[in-house]
Amino acid sequence: MALRLGDVAPNFEAETSEGKINFHEYLGDGWGILFSHPADYTPVCTTELGTVAKLKDEFAKRNTKVMALSVDGLESHKGWIKDINETQSTEVNFPIIADEDRKVSELYDMIHPNSNENFTVRSVFVIGNDKKIKLIITYPASTGRNFDELLRVIDSLQLTANYSVATPANWKHGEDVVIAPAIKDEDIPAKFPKGHKVVKPYLRTTPQPDL
């Protein structure tokens, strides 16, 4: 059965480029990103892994750990990491799962026969500090993932988990947010002392509350 938003992210143990890892223990009390690649030495994924490595400080600011996956083995991973470091001018600083037996791929429904029976599709899972899946995106092989967008989504998820707000289209950290419909008008001043704007009775905005 395919995983859905709100499901607990299945735990697993796997061999990675940084040793054997228990996924839930690796995440600890923080957030996580698990993202898959069809195979080592693929051009688009090479640029993606390099980009993620360069964003280490941004993920750390959000208490978020990253783990990649490919169905190739550890020796292949080691060679690919050298290529990534060389071509992307960085140092890979997160584990890459060697999922040769497809155990994790099948656990997370990353094998799509209509795409390819042998390789994982390029999925991204964002996992909250409660170990529940908050976001699932699957990309085609020809389109590189936008990790700035994933950082934006994590900002939104972490904000909306702690406040009764939602984030509007194209929202970025620091911009106004939408007050949840469940909040009564008379309760807004106490909950959102920075003030608010009524665009329509169902559309009320307020400055980002945690700034």
Active site residues: 45
List % helix, strand, coil for the chain (3-state, nearest 5). Answer: 30, 25, 45
Task: Name the strand (E) or helix (H) holding 177.
Answer: strand 177-179
In the beta sheet, which residues pair with residue 13?
22
In terms of Cα–Cα distance, which of 139, 131, 74, 70 is closest to 104?
Answer: 70
Spatial CB neighbours of 107, under 8 Å, sequence gap ≥ 6: 10, 12
In terms of Cα–Cα distance, which of 24, 206, 31, 12 is closest to 110?
Answer: 12
Going by the DSSP 8-state scheme, the letter that residue 9 receives in this structure is: P
β-bridge pairing 122-127 and 133-139:
antiparallel
User: Which residue reads 């480029």 in tokens?
Assistant: 17
Local structure of 85: helix, strand or coil: helix
